[in-house]
Amino acid sequence: MTRPGFVLEVDDRTPPLLVHEGLGFRLEEFPQGTRVIYPPESLPTVPDVEEAIRESLENPVDSEPLRELMFPGMRLTIAFDDLSLPLPTMKAPDIRGRIIEQVLTIAAEKGVDDVEIIAALALHRRMTDAEMRHIVGERVFRSFAPSGKLYNHDAEDRSNLEHMGQTEKGEDVEINKRAATSDLLIYVNVNLVAMDGGHKSVGIGLASYKSIKHHHNAKTMVHSRSFMDHKHSEMHSSAWRMGRLIGEHVKVFQIETTLDNEVFGKPYDTLLKREWEWSLRDQATVLGLRRGLAVAPQKMRHKMFHDLRSNYGLTGITAGAVEPVHELTVQRVHQQQRVKVEGQSDVMVMGVPYLGPYNVNSTMNPILAACMGLGYYFNSYLRQPVVREGGVAILYHPLDEGFNTLTHPSYVDFYEEVLADTTDPALIGPKFEEQFATDPWYVHLYRTSNAYHGVHPFYMWYWIAHALDHLGDVIWVGGNPKAAARMGFRSASTLRDALEMASSTVGPSPSITYLRNPPHLLADVR
Amino acid sequence: MSSFWKDTARDVRLMKRGWRWGHRAQVPRSAEPFVPPATTTVFDNEWSRKPAARAVREVAQAGLEAVFRSQVKTQVEGLDVLERLDGPVIFVANHASHLDTPLILLSLPDEWRRRTAVAAAADYFFDTWWRAVGSSLVFNTLPIDRRGGALANAPGEVLADGWSLVVFPEGTRSKDGTVGRFRSGAAYLAIEYGVPVVPIAHRGTYAAMPRGVSWPGKDKAGGRRQLTVRFGDPLRPTDGESVREFAPRIRSAVSRLLDEDATDWYASMRRAAEDRTPDPAGEEIAEWRKVWAATESPDPEPDKIRAWRR
């Protein structure tokens, strides 16, 4: 029996609550009356994953069975979500690999020779062979990678981009040429949160900068309220317009999967449990982890966390036409993550963990930490933000991991040059974006190394534009004061100090809501 | 490194306080509706009524008595009723504190005490092996499913073996010191196994050690708290009397005894005859007033003229 999510009100019986902060976590004693949002427990998973995949491919929604869409001599392209999903990386076998194997089994039976498999990473970094192999599985990797038929999408390869036209709002639609000129494009999704999937998959995952810039900008992001609600998100509206245009040119067969909330495997699964239900063993585990992390060097802590593999189970899989498939997916994600919350609060507290979509096997630099907290967690709502307009966000993260110059080279310059000049998302775009996006060195690193695109840090800053527009103050507990100040925020050593600092904005006894995330949650604020 | 140990000590203190080490864990009030139903593993304790365990219990209860008497004062009345009985009985008492069980057991004459088991909540006293062993050895507890499920050690079998049984029909300790609803388990056992019910009323245990407190407190002068316990005349189900009819009679007997303990025997009998025995559930008043009243230790001799002020 899955217990629903609920809102806890901290009282005298409430033990200290776990708050993530980068490569560690703390136990925080929240003021009495603080609301804490706990997501529902994991939904039951499908009893037989292989059978569920087979069933979805044979009985798709609003589409012929996959088998009937294939024929000898066709051009078949399979695209899949990159390593930014799920978080943390799934224990092998990854669900995408299992799906792709079944798709390829059908393709082989139908005599399809021309097959290419593309990691739809948009402007994310190229994945390494090992990362790619982990996702698609050894069998698929060995069959396609050596011959160059399994590869990362290259948004800067002009020879392999197809301009498909403009939407009714004048948005350029330019995607991977191979995908655009296929007889069938199959997209394999992992829908970890409600913003994933739908027309965003092909329309963004396989697109170029020219196309993406239409919705990845400060203006659109401020009006995406929220990203987790595609019907009220400007970014998704733009992606939907683009997706429908793409659909006029190429047949897209969408496969979407939803996962339960088993974010961590043992022994870290304790971190997912509700604190007052911790057994003595759980308490000993937490105490041991905390003390171990306290003496471990940064490198070891990084390894401890980044070697973690999630225990996600499949709660559902749907295939077929993009929009009806996505509707069913969103319902399942909501079922897993939605929590009803009555009213907004003055202060919102978030613990930013060690991992976000853009630092898998890399470091959580201050910009990514800001994006994770103020971009993803802040936007994990339906209807209205958890915090009222003019309220305060208190985040936990040390902001001390520095920058990984292999994966995030342009972030360093963004931090040193752009943020030193202005932190206003509306200003940095016109002034600096083009320069970073077209810088030949960044383009070179994106195409040949494992670097995020030069423009990527701008997108992180645009992600937080809605939060910056909405909030009166942002305070980082335990955050490096210099890093916080560079980003236009303040830092405090303790929650008590942070609340004291926030009192100038929200008064001395504000209402507080803490998002107990992970496990993933979506606050439905009434 | 010294900061490491300092932080470790701070973490340990934080966890000790937060998770109430040495005490039962508490659930935040707003999370109570979401607590999953307990899936208790009940540990069998038939061994605890074998001769070896009885020998150990004799020693344990001697130690318990010494500690108990050092912490509280007791006044026991009405034990003469036991002289008129020779078989197993069911002792039925109100329940306000963890002190109730030792109070009743240690008030019994030795020959009765040695043959008396205590019905205890299986989900509370038998959820871990060490709790099961500890409570069985010291108190001769018997696991009872408060939710009405069947358990291996049916209390009936224990009664049939000649053991008396202490039952707290409220099923849990009082939250405010008043007496709650009586469940019908004791009445059922009495009818089913043909054993008499001896009502017991006690006062003062709530004041001495209410819920959430793990050791008896002292009175205002720093002295031991007073407890009183009173045994009533045995009740037997009449011919054809149903459980539904017998259960209220048991509760009325406990109520009258409480009244007697607070006033005197004759006055309580007069009130009972006129059906004016005060309801021990208390009046419809604010909870704090009930708690307030219950936190006052009973005075066993209210009219005694004292030479010295206490």
**B150 pLDDT above the threshold of 60:** no
B66 touches chain A (CB under 8 A): no
Other residues' Cβ atoms within 10 Å of the Cβ of residue A281: 10
pLDDT at B310: 45
Chain B residues inside the 8 Å CB shell of A8: 28, 30-31
Peptide bond into A425 cis (omega under 30): no
> How close A3 gets to chain B, by Cα (Å)?
7
Nearest beta carbon to residue B36 from set A3, A7, A295 = A3
Chain A residues inside the 8 Å CB shell of B9: none
> How close A339 gets to chain B, by Cα (Å)?
14
**B302 pLDDT above the threshold of 70:** no
Q: Give the pLDDT band of residue B152 (cuts 50, 70, 90).
A: very low
**B307 pLDDT above the threshold of 80:** no
Chain A residues inside the 8 Å CB shell of B34: 3-4, 6
Nearest beta carbon to residue A13 from set B4, B12, B26 = B26
Query: What is the number of CB-based contacts under 8 A between chain A and chain B?
Result: 59
Which DSSP state fits A44?
P
Q: Give the pLDDT band of residue B48 (cuts 50, 70, 90).
A: confident
Rounded CA-CA distance B21/A15 in Å is 11
B4 touches chain A (CB under 8 A): yes
Interface test with A, best of B17, B30, B35, B127 (most A CBs within 10 A): B30
Interchain CB distance below 8 Å, A294 and B4 = yes
Measured between CA atoms, the residue of chain A closest to residue B32 is: A8
Q: Where are the beta strands (DSSP E) in B65-140?
A: 72-77, 90-93, 116-121
Query: Which amino acid does the sequence have at A97?
Result: G
Q: Which structure tokens are listed for A217?
A: 């900008």
Rounded CA-CA distance B159/A244 in Å is 78
B11 touches chain A (CB under 8 A): yes
Interchain CB distance below 8 Å, B4 and A7 = no
Chain B residues inside the 8 Å CB shell of A284: none
> How close A342 gets to chain B, by Cα (Å)?
14
B9 touches chain A (CB under 8 A): no
> How close A66 gets to chain B, by Cα (Å)?
43
Q: Do A197 and A90 form a contact (C-beta atoms < 8 A)?
A: no
Q: Which structure tokens are listed for B74?
A: 């007791």
Interchain CB distance below 8 Å, A16 and B30 = no
Measured between CA atoms, the residue of chain A closest to residue B34 is: A3
**Sequential pLDDT tens for chain A (526 residues):** 789 999 999 999 999 999 999 999 999 999 999 999 999 999 999 999 999 999 999 999 999 999 999 999 999 999 999 999 999 999 999 999 999 999 999 999 999 999 999 999 999 999 999 999 999 999 999 999 999 999 999 999 999 999 999 999 999 999 999 999 999 999 999 999 999 999 999 999 999 999 999 999 999 988 888 888 889 999 999 999 999 999 999 999 999 999 999 999 888 899 999 999 999 999 999 999 999 999 999 999 999 999 999 999 999 999 999 999 999 999 999 999 999 999 999 999 999 999 999 999 999 999 999 999 999 999 999 999 999 999 999 999 999 999 999 999 999 999 999 999 999 999 999 999 999 999 999 999 999 999 999 999 999 999 999 999 999 999 999 999 999 999 999 999 999 999 999 999 999 999 999 999 999 999 999 9
DSSP-derived 3-state class of residue A209: helix
B26 touches chain A (CB under 8 A): yes
Chain A residues inside the 8 Å CB shell of B33: 6
Higher pLDDT, A417 or B148: A417
DSSP result, A352-400: -BS--TT-TTS---HHHHHIIIIIIITT-EESS-SEEEEEEEEEE----
Rounded CA-CA distance A92/A88 in Å is 12
Which DSSP state fits B308?
S
Interface test with A, best of B34, B41, B128, B131 (most A CBs within 10 A): B34
B31 touches chain A (CB under 8 A): yes
Going by DSSP bridges, is the β-strand pair A172-176/A35-38 parallel, antiparallel, or unpaired?
A: unpaired
> How close A269 gets to chain B, by Cα (Å)?
18
Q: Do B53 and B87 form a contact (C-beta atoms < 8 A)?
A: no
**B179 pLDDT above the threshold of 70:** yes
Interchain CB distance below 8 Å, B11 and A291 = yes
**Residue B35: partners with Cβ closer than 8 Å, 6 or more residues away:** B27
> How close A287 gets to chain B, by Cα (Å)?
7
Interchain CB distance below 8 Å, A14 and B19 = no
> How close A264 gets to chain B, by Cα (Å)?
22
Q: Which structure tokens are listed for B123?
A: 């989900």
B302 touches chain A (CB under 8 A): no
Query: Which residue segments constitute the domains of chain A, with CATH numbers given?
Result: 49-259 (3.40.50.11440)
Query: Which residue segments constitute the domains of chain B, with CATH numbers given?
Result: 46-294 (3.40.1130.10)
> How close A16 gets to chain B, by Cα (Å)?
6
Chain A residues inside the 8 Å CB shell of B27: 13, 276
Chain B residues inside the 8 Å CB shell of A27: 11, 14-15, 18
Q: Give the pLDDT band of residue B284 (cuts 50, 70, 90).
A: confident
Measured between CA atoms, the residue of chain A closest to residue B212 is: A13
Measured between CA atoms, the residue of chain A closest to residue B1 is: A295
Chain B residues inside the 8 Å CB shell of A6: 30-31, 33-34
A484: phi then psi, degrees, rounded to nearest 5? -60, -45
Selection from A100, A106, A326, A99 nearest residue A203 by Cα? A326
B22 touches chain A (CB under 8 A): no
pTM (whole model) above 0.90: no
| Longest pairwise C-alpha distance within chain A | 71
pLDDT at B87: 78
**B173 pLDDT above the threshold of 90:** yes
